[in-house]
Amino acid sequence: MSELAQSSVAELGRLLAAKQVSAVELAELFLARIDAHRDLNAFLDVRPEATLAQARDADRRRAQGETGALLGVPMAHKDIFVTREWASTASSKMLEGYMSPFDATVVEQLRTAGMVCLGKLNCDEFAMGSSNENSAYGPVLNPWDKGAVPGGSSGGSSAAVAARIAPVATATDTGGSIREPAAFTGITGTKPTYGRPSRWGMIAFASSLDTAGLMTHSAEDAALVLSSMLGFDPKDSTSVDRPAEDCARDLAKPVKGLRIGVPKEFFGAGLSPDVEQAVRAALDVYRGLGAEIREISLPNAALGIPVYYVVAPAECSSNLSRFDGVRYGHRAKHHGDLADMIKRSRAEGLGPEPKRRILIGAYVLSHGYYDAYYLKAQQVRRLIADEFQRAFTECDVIAGPVTTTVAFGFGEKAADPVSMYLADLYTVPGSLAGIPSMSIPCGFGDKGRPVGLQLMANYFDEARMLGAAHQYQLATDWHKRVPAGF
Amino acid sequence: MARSHPNWEVVIGLETHAQLSTRSKIFSSASTAFGAAPNSQASVVDLALPGVLPVLNRGAVERAIRFGLAVGAKISPRSVFARKNYFYPDLPKGYQISQYELPVVVGGTVRIQVGDVEKIVQLTRAHLEEDAGKSLHEDFHGMSGIDLNRAGTPLLEIVTEPDMRSAAEAVAYAKALHALVQWIGICDGNMQEGSFRCDANVSVRPMGSDKLGTRCEIKNLNSFRFLEQAIEHEVDRQIELIEGGGTVVQETRLYDPDRDETRAMRSKEDAQDYRYFPDPDLLPLVIADDWIERVRAEMPELPEAKRARLEREHGLAPYDAAALTATREMADWFEATLAALPGQAKLCANWIMGEVSARLNRDEIELAQAPITATALAGLLARVVDGTLSGKMAKEVFDAMWAGEGSADAIIEARGLKQISDSGAIEKIIDDVLAANPKSVEEFRAGKDKAFNALVGQVMKASKGKANPQQVNDLLRAKLG
């Protein structure tokens, strides 16, 4: 059965269609694996009865003649998506045990497609972090090296897929929260265009950046599941009014003649040699496949970090104001008047990283500083987005490293928030522009830890990006490597 | 009573919150109906549960456009919703979605009249925003209750320039605005339920000065009387303060109608920094010309235009035309009556402003609840015009109609109220009366005019009030030579 656990979503779908396995059997298999690997701390809430009820439902639907590539395939949700059947905490003490009365749109979409939810995945508190060390429920371990972080904020999602305790997981990316953990755990992490997946039911961190996406074994799986997640949602005003599409349509397209832009700024002083080597080797693979590798320049990309750490905290400081202990969530047991109740509830319920960002955000929005910080940051953000548009006149996709280093160890950066923030150096520009981008495994670096290759494409060009990733994965087997013991 | 301050000029600007009459809230599909059980009309969006997002109600925007057109303002082709951040238990998100730098309506004017003086009040802007919930500090024994039914109710905040110079002008403006928002159907104007409430910015300066004094803002005035009293009180307070050697501190004050005084709520120093920024959950509000034109095409005739037309087309006196256009219901009623009785504008106007208004007042009801329709009234007045009824008889019939006894014709028939206009019949009655009252005839001939009236009275009495009074007069005079 352990071989079954290594199967991709596409393979599981075929096995289910051929009646070689049932949704209930798959659910039981993965629930057992989740239980066996509790030490990873990837899951925050597992309710076998709820999972098995969904699996039985999927089997019934199939018996009634329903087909569908995802019908009965297990998956898990990052605990940023609200769910009716599992607690929705955003990994915060503030929302401990919180049960949402509704499902996020993405949750609903995958449920409609017949996927079976295994439970909720750990992450950095309110998706703020790059190592998953900021979870109120403890860190997640990297299956490749339990002394290393799995990346963040979607660390539970990355670890679960890397350890094959879930074949696919949802994740969210605000400044790199899908791509960085995917790179650190040797899996495929995909962030589509901002506004394509709905944000309804995603616990907001930075509304203008938050994007739902996926952690998968492969680009093929990402294309398959993503096709069910896009499309206009009238409940989200920033949702793009475009029909859903088949993201797998370009998978078979050869990359011969594909123009791959490589930003020279992504290979500067901060990049460690082991990562650079693996990334350059990956570019050679593309060259060998007939792609045209071109150097491009994104001169303002380096401003991404300061811009991001103004815009994201500003939005977060406002988004997290609703957690006041009045209507739901943590309320301080001892308090004075109403104002004191709100203060104490927030002081107790929110962790240090959300507090830090709320302070930064409140500062940059405050009277007299708004123009110098927030407004200026938005102007530079526009420059960065424009820069990508110019780049995409010269190339079809952009490739480069995801991170400066391989996964770091626990505690290595926790004491120095700025060095932690710099982990997002290569991922933040794509987030600020809102373009689709992804990380695919391309080898191993120091201490045998995985390295990711970042691919970016223009707005709504997910299919082309996934096609380029799939062609690489046809030529390599990095994405099939599984950490020892899993 | 207002004291007179000949050496001081009063400067007033008003901010009015008009609740827009949409059925659902501005960013959620929850109902806006008033008076439901606490929190029964708060959706997941209004409760600000994790993961919810706002979606703008286009009906609220349409009402803002209607307002902008009615006051001759500029409708912004692009306006932006911003978050106003502050913590309060009845503000579920910890911020209010409002408009800050780019409001939907810019400029505009409202014409007011105080006594015989007409004045134009300039509007600064009008913007869309959501209301907060309600905190109930009583009845919970040391705790507070929160009702979020009102949270997310659409408001149009209408801001004037500091153009008003007295409490009377401020009240005249508030009344004109109150009538206008109801006229164009964007607000029910119900002040008891908080659908229309004013904040007044009040300052004073020495007469002749062109520098504005320090202002105080008086919050949440929900009746015209309170508005007037609060401003008058605040003016007295500020002048007394300055004349006593003190200075006015910029602050927000609350008016206490029970004690007729304002008291400080918070000063400028503890004013919060609201950290406004564009709401990233909402796209900029783009209003294309064709949307504006669509709204314009559906606009009712505005009160001023209607008043002018009533004077011009129907020859009504300015006073009558103004009274009939005080509310849209009244104007519609008048026009419906007139449509059924063309050419009788003056008669219709007199009856509506007289009998109809008097009974509405007596019964404390609105026109919409009146027991008779405009066409029914026209049916009655037609019988006056054709001479079937005398004025006095018409009033009797009107009372019966008001009591629900049916149409004018049915009542005339049932009560046998038809006026006698047959001169032969009237002459016969007159002959009888003259024969029976020789004394009165003699007195009249001796020059006593009063005797004539007594004879008319006798004739009317003999006819049981049905004789046409004009004919009685004419015939009697002819007979007495």
The pLDDT tens digits for A366-381 are 999 999 999 999 999 9
Closest by alpha carbon to A358, among B47, B94, B45? B94
Cβ neighbours of A222 (radius 10 Å): 30
pLDDT at res. A414: 81
Residue of B49, B50, B283 with shortest CB distance to A238 = B283
pLDDT at res. B2: 60
Residues of B in contact with A104 (CB under 8 A): 51
CB A326 within 8 A of CB A332: no
Mark yes or no for CB contact B281/A237 under 8 Å.
Answer: yes
CATH number of the B423-480 domain: 1.10.10.410
pLDDT at res. A225: 98
Beta strands in A86-239 (DSSP E): 116-121, 169-173, 188-191, 211-216
Among A425-429, B416-420, B460-464, the range scoring the smallest mean pLDDT is: B416-420
Residue B334 in this model has a pLDDT that exceeds 80: yes
Mark yes or no for CB contact A327/B48 under 8 Å.
Answer: yes
Residue B481 in this model has a pLDDT that exceeds 80: no
The pLDDT tens digits for B397-410 are 999 999 999 999 99
Can you tell me which residue has the tokens 């690489």?
Answer: A472
For domain A2-253, the CATH superfamily is Amidase signature (AS) domain (3.90.1300.10)
Element at B328 (helix H, strand E): helix B328-340
pLDDT at res. B152: 97
Mean confidence (pLDDT) of chain B: 93
CA distance B150 to B136: 13
pLDDT at res. B96: 98
Closest by alpha carbon to A278, among A184, A427, A188, A401? A401
Mark yes or no for CB contact B93/A236 under 8 Å.
Answer: no
Would you kindly state where each structural domain of chain A is located, as residue ranges?
2-253
The pLDDT tens digits for B262-302 are 888 877 666 789 999 999 999 999 999 999 999 999 999 99
CA distance A275 to A453: 9
Return the percentage of chain A with pLDDT > 70, whole number. 100
pLDDT at res. A1: 45
Closest by alpha carbon to B236, among B1, B473, B474? B1
A177 tagged catalytic: yes
Per-residue pLDDT band at B391 (split at 50, 70, 90): confident
CB contact set of A277 (below 8 Å; sequence gap of 6+):
A443, A445
Closest by alpha carbon to A196, among A239, A247, A246? A239
Name the active-site residue from A177, A218, A239, A345: A177
A78 tagged catalytic: yes
Average pLDDT for A1-15: 90
CA distance A189 to A441: 9
Residue B46 in this model has a pLDDT that exceeds 70: yes
Residue of A199, A324, A362 with shortest CB distance to B53 = A199
CA distance A13 to B179: 66
Residues of B in contact with A362 (CB under 8 A): 275
Q: Say if residue A249 is exposed, middle or buried (CB neighbours under 10 Å; 0-12, 13-18, 19+).
A: middle
At A456, give phi and psi (nearest 5°).
-130, 150
CB contact set of A215 (below 8 Å; sequence gap of 6+):
A154, A157, A158, A160, A161, A168, A169, A170, A171, A178, A181, A182, A187, A188, A189
Mark yes or no for CB contact A342/B87 under 8 Å.
Answer: yes
pLDDT at res. B54: 98
- Rounded to two decimals, the ipTM of the complex is 0.96
Would you kindly state where each structural domain of chain B is located, as residue ranges?
8-291, 301-415, 423-480
Half-sphere exposure of B256 (CA within 13 A, CB side): 7
CB A448 within 8 A of CB A145: yes
Residue A260 in this model has a pLDDT that exceeds 60: yes
Mark yes or no for CB contact A207/B54 under 8 Å.
Answer: no
Interface check for B102 against chain A (CB to CB < 8 A): the answer is no
Average pLDDT for A295-322: 97
Residue B53 in this model has a pLDDT that exceeds 80: yes
The pLDDT tens digits for A187-213 are 999 999 999 999 999 999 999 999 999
Average pLDDT for B328-354: 94
Among A225-229, A295-299, A306-310, B465-469, the range scoring the smallest mean pLDDT is: B465-469
Q: Quickly list DSSP for A166-209.
A: SS-EEEEESSSTTHHHHHHHTSEEEE--TTSB--TTBPPS-TTT
The pLDDT tens digits for B416-443 are 887 887 888 888 899 999 889 888 888 8
Return the percentage of chain A with pLDDT > 90, whole number. 95
CB contact set of B418 (below 8 Å; sequence gap of 6+):
B388, B412, B466
Average pLDDT for B24-44: 94
Mean confidence (pLDDT) of chain A: 97
CB A475 within 8 A of CB A442: no
Average pLDDT for A14-19: 97
Residue A224 in this model has a pLDDT that exceeds 60: yes
Interface check for B37 against chain A (CB to CB < 8 A): the answer is no
Average pLDDT for A90-111: 98
Q: Partners of A18 in the beta sheet?
A: none
Interface check for B34 against chain A (CB to CB < 8 A): the answer is no
**Which of A86, A93, A106, A321 is best to mutate for the B interface (most B CBs within 10 A)?**
A321
CB contact set of B445 (below 8 Å; sequence gap of 6+):
B480
Average pLDDT for A21-28: 98
Per-residue pLDDT band at B465 (split at 50, 70, 90): confident
**Please, what sign has the CA dihedral across residues A372, A377, A380, A382?**
negative
Q: How far is CA B219 from CA B16, B199, B235, B461, in A?
A: 10, 5, 15, 63
Q: Pairing between strand B109-114 and B145-147?
A: unpaired
CB A425 within 8 A of CB A465: no
Among A75-84, B88-97, B322-331, the range scoring the smallest mean pLDDT is: B322-331
Residue of B48, B277, B282 with shortest CB distance to A322 = B48
Amino acid at B255: Y
CB B27 within 8 A of CB B130: yes
Q: Partners of B146 in the beta sheet?
A: B135
A131 tagged catalytic: no
Per-residue pLDDT band at B107 (split at 50, 70, 90): very high
Cβ neighbours of A407 (radius 10 Å): 28
Average pLDDT for A408-417: 89
